[in-house]
Chain A
Amino acid sequence: MNDFLQFLNEPLAQRSLWACGVIGFSNGFVSALVVLRRSALQIGTLSCALLPGIALAILLFGLFQLSILLGAVLAGLMVGLGSLFVSRTSRMEHDTALSVLHTTAFALGYIILITLGLQQKIDDWLFGNIMSMGDADLWIAYIIGALAVLSITALQRPLLITLFDPRAAATMGIPTRAFNYGIFALIILVLVSSLQAVGAFLTLGLLVAPAATMYLLTDRAAWLFWGGGLIGGLGAVAAFFLSYPLGWHLGATIIVVLGTLFLLAYLFSPKYGLLRLCRK
């Protein structure tokens, strides 16, 4: 225990703790968009597509923080929009095109990273390493989180109409296409900010589980945002305190905690829990 207290006094630990809270909160907040749009699987493939983007950026510009970020954003956009393009110009379904593109991109990225001799780094990008986050990373996470909270809160009313009934939203004069691009961009930004914390594989959990848990607890779409943010933030902080004494990998622990919360809500939610439904 003393070990742990001593560890908490270190700037590295404090930075990680803040990172957990901030990244957990902003991912949880934005996860409401993913859940309400019912696009979890698409986002999942997108998150894996970030790896080749990172690899390419390193190949072209070297191992810098900014190049990694930009590469991830570009890869997300390219695979996302590219699959849309392929599905529109051929007889393929969007999901099919997305699957082929993202696995190919992922494989290429892996080959590039191995060729560059970055084997040790690959684990960090796949599963995350919060301890490696610097002050600049933390600032980026703050800014992305603030952007997500502000934009979603300010535009919540038209946003919810667009998510629920896009056609009616369009007749009401809401620019639904701009909203859809905005949602997509916000999701990619948040994905990138959580990449360092939980990695390309696990970031999907952080970007779905919090709002999915709230989905089982409430009938108010607006609560999915703040509730999701709280679950994401508190869950990640709890995982921080669990992972050290248990000696577990932090990123993985965050996802396990969030998954456990989801399971608890699935079983015991007063309104939509399995136990409640069975008793009916």
Chain B
Amino acid sequence: MVSEHHDHICWGGGHHHHTRHQLELQKVTAGYTNEPVLHDISFTAGCGSTLALIGPNGAGKSTLLNALAGLLPIWSGAILWNNSALAEHRHEIAYLPQRSEVNWQFPITVRQLVEMGRYPAVGAWEAMRPHDKEIVEKALCTLGLQDLQHRQIGALSGGQQQRCFLARALAQEAHILLLDEPFTGLDVPGTEALSQILRSLAAEGRLVIASHHDLASAPQIFDQALLLRKQLIACGPAQEVLTPENLKRTFNPA
């Protein structure tokens, strides 16, 4: 499983990597039963940025995340990563569940949770190599979880729990981080701390995509925004996209 990606460090800011690492959706239509939830979605997002998916309930934010994560087959269109199908780069994607979906009583420590991120590289039977342990250590360190690593995950605060899952994504060495409503239930300092972490992860060359419901905080947290109401309303830099007119089209169309 060791690939060139392990050695690849994608420090953000340069122009080259924007052409190299790019997520592109071409006319993606997807849904669950008969009626499509997502209709003809096309956009591109480069690594090194944080992208908020914004829209009313049922607009398809989670569906879009699921489609990106490969959990939901798309009906038509294409999802490309660097011009080849994203499905061929599964190890590049880390999915972070909504906090309410996690069983926090599960008997698992912070460290064991982060070690799960090494699964795609290590597989079911091999032991963790020193290299893998180093990566886990680094992920714990980056997110300030070293002192908490032997705690059971239920014994942490909301912000710390969120950081554990981010650390797992780092251990996975994923390029694309998909987060389902990561800011739900966090207090103001927690929100501030998490948005700083997301920005610094993006600055290192990752692409962070998160569904988000709080319009007021979106421009402060994310640099890109995507307005969604089954169809794409607008996508681009957050300040330009979150105009009153666009928001009206997203939330209260006439």
Q: Does A12 contact B (CB under 8 A)?
A: no
Q: How many residues of A are in contact with the other chain, CB < 8 A? A: 25
**Which residues of B have CB within 8 Å of A215?**
107
CB–CB A154/B107 < 8 A: no
Q: Does B248 contact A (CB under 8 A)?
A: no
Question: What would 7 more interface pairs be, CB under 8 Å, given A160-B116, A171-B93, A219-B109?
Answer: A157-B119, A158-B124, A160-B108, A165-B102, A171-B94, A173-B90, A220-B108
Spell out A's residues near B (CB within 8 Å).
Answer: 36, 38, 154-155, 157-158, 160-161, 163-165, 167-168, 170-174, 215, 218-221, 223-224
**Which residues of B have CB within 8 Å of A168?**
94-97, 116, 168
CB–CB A218/B93 < 8 A: no
CB–CB A220/B112 < 8 A: yes
Looking at chain A's contact residues, is the secondary structure mostly helix, strand, loop, or mixed? Answer: helix
Given contacts A155-B124, A168-B95, A170-B71, contact A218 B119 (CB under 8 A): no
> When each residue 218-243 of chain B gets 1 if its CB lies under 8 Å from chain A and 0 otherwise, what string results?
00000000000000000000000000
B residues 194-211 in Cβ contact with A at 8 Å: none
Q: How many residues of B are in contact with the other chain, CB < 8 A? A: 27
B residues 96-132 in Cβ contact with A at 8 Å: 96-97, 101-103, 106-109, 112-113, 116, 119-120, 124-125
B36 to chain A, nearest CB (A): 20
CB–CB B120/A173 < 8 A: yes
Looking at chain B's contact residues, is the secondary structure mostly helix, strand, loop, or mixed? Answer: mixed
**A172 partner, pick from B96, B102, B120, beta carbons under 8 A:** B120
B99 to chain A, nearest CB (A): 12
A159 to chain B, nearest CB (A): 9
CB–CB B124/A167 < 8 A: no
Task: Report Cα–Cα, A174/B119, bound state, in Å.
Answer: 10
**Which residues of A have CB within 8 Å of B101?**
167
